[in-house]
Structure 1
Amino acid sequence: MRPNAKYLGLLAILCSTATAQNQTSYNPSLPGWHSDPSCVFVAERDNTTFCTTSSFLLTPGLPVLVSQDLVNWKTASHAISRESQLPDYAQSIPQSDGIWAATIRYHNGTFYIVTIYRSNILEGKEGKKGLIFNTTDPYSDSAWGDPIRYDTADIDPDLFWDDDGTAYSTTAGISIATIDPATGIRGEAHNIWNGTTGEFLEGPHLYKKDGIYYLMIAEGGSGLNHSVTIARSKKILGPYESNPANPVLTNAHTDQYFQNIGHADLFQDAYGQWWSSALCWRSGPEGLSYPMGREMVVTPVSWPEGDWPTFAPVRGRVEGWTRPLVKDIPGDGSLFNDDVIDFEDPSLPSHFAFWRFPNRESYAVSPAGHPGTLQLTQSWGSIMDGVDNFTAGFDRIDRTLIMRLQVDTLFEYSVDADFSPKTQGEEVGVTVFLNEVQNINLGIVMLPSNTTFNSTATGRNGPRVRPHLRFRVSGGGSLNKKEIPETVVKPVPCSWAGQPIRLTIRAEDSERYSLYAASSARAKETEIKLGTAPSSLVSGGMGDFTGGGTGDKDRR
């Protein structure tokens, strides 16, 4: 074994949401971090709904998610899969940098995704760059080319084609301008609506139905006051009449489990029935613990001819339009479901993710002599380094971290790690990761021989070291710093020597994670609990726009 490599057999067991029957399904429709969802139904593509979500610094970015029943989903592709498409990631430092809200649309045989790349350290237009991606094959990463860059008026761009073929883009604010999707050239911007509150006017989408233009936006900010409002006009530039029933969709000021409802989109299904997608927190009215971040919910919409759309309230149980369940979805990606990954496939699963663009050489599936494993090569950087020591242009790919999104409140995630460290500081482990200043970790790490964390015991050739189990938490970006637990360090039992060690993250209730270690060969008899941390530490704070995942990390 190379001293800088680990061999992991990864087992992730996640409790699935209930199966839908007939007219009943369950929210979140797309569980786990799927913020700012946008969806389009395309009849000529096997009656399939295509959605995308913001991805910030997660890569591959801009996932394209497909379903034919709004219950069963696959990852079809990612619009951003190559660093050459967006080298700007090297300029990304704050946790809220990267790819913000996007809109996906289909026009004349081509799929378009319009979004922005946001950099909080670059000023003016360079810090808010518009991007347009397009493809005729939404099931292929490579078919998504380099983005067309353009100067955007603001965040949250939309894309709409009028009957005469003219394309328009509305943005937060709320303003509208013509746009050429092939070049990004925009016309003069016009402010068309000030919403109902005049505050946090975001996420606009424009539709035309029965000869009337409908403008739907988000208001109230992405938090407990989030809501959806709508206006309409007979002319695309207005004036727009506000719906007397606004807000048309919100759970603000209620005791509902689903909160932060907003940033909605409208689309139809194969039967002409209308639906709305929106984001949510599974937090309850306190809004304190929502480690999965902003997830995608759906709700049925009634939209009579010439009238306003009426939205069913967002609840856990979706009682709505009849549609058959379809699990045989096009595309090569796996269904959103429980995972038992044996690494027999030579490529990584499409729903696995990285924090920024990775060094691909650090991740090898079934390397020679170790079939059915994932080999991780150590990095110098740590996921607990934070952001204070970095400057724009720093090589940030030197972080070995691979994740999958947390999609359930109660779950178990475990990894069998075959690890033979040689020098002090070498570490492999599992993590509940929101960002570099909010994560919960359990590692196998080479430390000085006695059980004290700050031991300085030395031998003839320097410190005597041996493998230890270390539980530690980074909560510097959290709003709940008072509950950051103490670091716990214990030597790996001698009876485990030469055997793989199973590291487990277990969410036994909705408010905390417990982390365990065991000898893989005798997991039930040898399991040791190293620590517990509240899920509020990986909710909000510096990761307020994003959501968490469970994963494996490796550091030298």
Structure 2
Amino acid sequence: MAFPANPVYASKDFVNWRLASNAVNRVSQFAVIRSGTQGNGGGMFANTLRYHNGIFYLISTWPSAELGGPRFVMFITTDPYDDLAWSNAIWPQTPGYTIDPDIFFDDDGSVVIASAGEPIIAAYLDLATGNTSEPWELWAGTGGQSAEGPHIYKRDGYYYLLIAEGGTQLNHSATMARSKSIKGPWEAAPHNPLVSNRGTDNYFQTVGHADLFQDAQGNWWGVALSTRGGPTLYTELIYSMGRETVLFPVSWPSGGWPVADQVQGRMSGPLPSQSLISQGIGAEVGEPDVVDFVAGSEFPSNWVSWRAPFDAASFAISPAGHENTLRLTASRANLTTDLNFNTSTEGVTALFRRQEHTYFNFSVDIQLGFGKSSGDEMGISNFGTPDQHADLGIVYLEDVSESAGKLKPYLRVRARSVNAFTAPEPTTTPVPEGWLGDAIRLQISPRNESHYEFSASSVGQNGKEEAIGLYRTALLSGDGAGTGGVLGIYATTNGGSYSFDGYVSRWRYQPVAQQVGYNSTIFVPT
């Protein structure tokens, strides 16, 4: 449900990646992204990116009940390094109730869309009209459940079909078949699955939904989805970064079948020489955030909001009288929202960036004095969906120890979870008297693979961080959302039918380390 959506990344060496553009970056491209997302999840998923005759095609699934079920949607561009170059939404005809579209350009000029089904189905697509032919059946796989995520390739006179099987959990896999005709019959590869870590204790699990490509030197590679932590931590819902993209070498002899290396935390392969890419709209993936909200600056391109669009008037960088701050105009709804929340008429005042490392420090300074009424709150959040998030907020509440109506700031930890355990009860602690004249720095840091820690400190006194609370990684995990957590800021009246302006400064995301094995950690140079 993040917006901008469908990010496209570019690399020259497969190690250093930069955000090239966001294929969905304006509501005018895709009007239903605002009105058709009433649930807590259900954004676009299962993107396939292909290049043909000078045009990039990105095809995806939009699972909207507003449109009668899953619909295929496509965006095209001739310049993947420019947000505004991406087209408005194109709606190819969807051949039945299906998801996970692939687009394949055949030698004879025909275009084929393949998609999920048992068996996988395919149809010809007329790019001029968007119409599809009557679908036909391809291949049902090797017997695993949930045949989906197909991709078609043509090589040495064969059509090769790569699909996902086994579901997206611990039995996840990618299997392959081939045929002399796009309509079959299909011959299964003798060594299926092509790639999977099912039945192993490897640190990287749930490997599947794969795709294959060649680099400029002719080497074959695969990409797939995976979660890290091993089967035990997966079962315990300890994988807060969700499904991640992994890269692995593939050998594909002429006339033969591809063979993939098993996905592990440390691998080797014929990587191109290291070379940074200069094009793109964002920083290198994995770089720290150092944002001081200087006048005239813009939001970093890797920041996202929950849902679209966020109201631009809710944010202002370095407004008059508050230089080097970000002004947030509070929303009625908080990050959990409520039964009255309507995406067509209101938003949530919040901004996020993705968690990209196992270990990191994320912190923001919040100016006190924003509270107008009881319940007014600003804070930081580790956010998955409105049903899965943990927040450390500064909330103004009535001070029952003094005269009625006097507001006092408190540090409050609240969490929400729909997983198999109950989220911890909220804790509320008065802001220390010695901190009241200064900004307060709020921070999120993983303590280990299973827990995050909230902490706070007084900025003006250069005070030592004080631990405020712990919460479980499992709170952000689970199969439902598929994606990992994001880190960010929010401002809310918690239901009040008014608003207030609050100010934050010094946004920092500092990478620390990546856990790539049970006893293998790669520390980020400082």
Q: Same fold (TM over 0.5)?
A: yes
Aligned to 2:251: 302
Given the alignment, which residue of 122, 138, 141 partners 2:80? 138
2:317 to 365, 377, 402: 365
Q: Is 2:82–2:281's contact at 8 Å kept on the other side of the alignment?
A: no
Work out the CA distance in 1 between the residues paired with 2:346 and 2:152.
38
Deviation at 1:505, TM superposition (A): 0.5
Show the counterpart of 2:373.
423
C-alpha contact 1:289 1:539 (8 A) present in aligned 2: yes
Letter in 1 for 2:130: G
Q: 1:390 to 1:279 in 2, by over 3 A?
A: farther
CA distance in 1, matches of 2:396, 2:439: 15
**Aligned mate of 2:476, from 530, 538, 541:** 538
Partner of 1:105: helix, strand, or coil?
strand
Provide the rounded CA distance (Å) in 2 between the counterparts of 1:201 and 1:434. 27
In structure 2, how many angstroms separate the alpha carbons of the residues matched to 1:318 and 1:374? 42
Q: 2: distance between equivalents of 1:436 and 1:490?
A: 24
Q: CA deviation at 1:355?
A: 0.7
Task: State how 1:503-518 maps to structure 2 within 5 Å.
Answer: 503-518=442-457
Which of residues 50, 60, 63 in structure 2 aligns to 1:115? 60
- Residues paired across the two proteins, number: 481
CA contact (8 A) 2:14 2:271 kept: no
Mapping of 1:26-105 within 5 angstroms?
A: 57-89=1-33, 90-105=35-50
**Can you give the 5+ residue segments of structure 1 that lack an aligned partner in the other structure?**
1-56, 451-456
Is 2:18–2:277's contact at 8 Å kept on the other side of the alignment?
no
Pair 1:176 & 2:130 matched = no
Distance in 1 (alpha carbons) for counterparts of 2:483 and 2:340: 21
Contact 1:502 1:523 in 2 (8 A): no
Aligned to 1:491: 430
Shift of 1:528: 2.0
Q: Tell me, which stretches of 5 or more residues in structure 2 are unaligned?
A: 494-526
The answer as to whether partners of 1:411 and 1:508 remain within 8 angstroms in 2 is no
What residue is the counterpart of 2:518 in the other structure? none
Partner of 2:206: 260
1:183 and 1:104 map into 2 onto residues whose CA distance is: 20
Tell me the amino acid that sits aligned with residue 328 of structure 1: I
Question: Aligned equivalents of 2:155 and 2:421: distance in 1?
Answer: 47
Map 1:424-463 onto structure 2 (within 5 A).
Answer: 424-450=374-400, 459=403, 462-463=404-405
| Aligned 8 A contact 2:141 2:165 in 1 | yes
Q: Residue 86 of structure 1: CA displacement?
A: 2.1
Partner Cα separation in structure 2 for residue 537 and residue 256 of structure 1: 23
The one-letter code matched in structure 2 to 1:100 is F
Distance 1:95 1:231 in 2: 37
Q: Distance in 1 between matches of 2:460 and 2:283?
A: 29
- Equivalent residue letter for 1:366: S
* 1:516-535 mapped onto 2 (5 Å cutoff): 516-525=455-464, 527-535=465-473
Residue 421 of structure 2 is aligned with which of 456, 467, 480?
A: 480
Give the SS at the match of 2:475.
helix
Secondary structure class of the residue paired with 1:159: strand
How far the C-alpha of 1:385 sits from its partner, in A, is 2.7
How far did 1:87 drift? 2.4
| Rounded Cα–Cα distance in structure 1 between residues aligned with 2:302 and 2:36 | 25
Q: 1:549 aligns with which of 486, 489, 493?
A: 486
2:75 maps to amino acid: F
| Contact 2:415/2:424 (8 A) holds in 1 | yes
1-side partners of 2:182 and 2:43: how far apart? 31
How far apart, CA to CA, are the structure 2 residues paired with 1:397 and 1:236?
48
Per the normalisation by structure 1, the TM-score is: 0.84
Contact 1:485 1:532 in 2 (8 A): no
Larger deviation, residues 156-165 vs 345-354 = 345-354
The answer to whether the 8 A contact 1:228-1:250 is kept is yes
Partner AA of 1:530 in structure 2: I
- The secondary structure found in structure 2 opposite 1:142 is helix
- Structure with greater contact order relative to length (CA < 8 Å, sep ≥ 6): 1
- Listed as ranges, the matches of 1:77-476 within 5 Å are 77-89=21-33, 90-119=35-64, 121-122=65-66, 126-153=68-95, 154-173=98-117, 174-197=120-143, 199-286=145-232, 287=234, 288-336=237-285, 337-344=287-294, 346-357=297-308, 358-385=310-337, 389=339, 394-395=343-344, 397-420=346-369, 421-450=371-400, 459=403, 462-475=404-417
The answer to whether the 8 Å contact 1:356/1:397 transfers is no
Looking at structure 2, the residues matched to 542 and 203 of structure 1 have their Cα atoms a distance apart, in angstroms, of: 17
More displaced stretch, 516-525 vs 420-429: 516-525
Cα-to-partner distance string for 1:105-141 (whole Å, 9 max, x where unaligned): 111111111112112x44xx62212111101111111
SS in structure 2 opposite 1:195? coil
Structure 1 counterpart of 2:419, one-letter code: S
SS at match of 2:16: coil
Contact 1:66–1:329 (Cα < 8 Å) also in 2: no
The SS at the match of 1:411 is strand
Question: Between the two proteins, what is the percent identity of the paired residues?
Answer: 42
2:121–2:136 CA contact under 8 A, matched in 1: yes
Cα 1:322/1:88, change in 2 over 3 Å: closer
Equivalent position SS for 2:84: coil
**Deviations 1:430-460, CA, capped at 9 Å, x for gaps:** 011010011111000101214xxxxxx673x
Decide whether the 8 Å contact of 1:356 with 1:396 is kept in 2: no
Distance in 2 between residues matched to 1:280 and 1:514, nearest whole Å: 25
Indicate how the Cα distance of structure 1 residues 430 and 271 shifts in structure 2: closer, same or farther if over 3 A, else same.
same
TM-score by length of 2: 0.88
Superposition deviation, residue 366 in structure 1? 2.3
Residues 160, 206 of structure 1: 8 Å contact kept: yes
**Aligned partner of residue 133 in structure 1, secondary structure:** strand
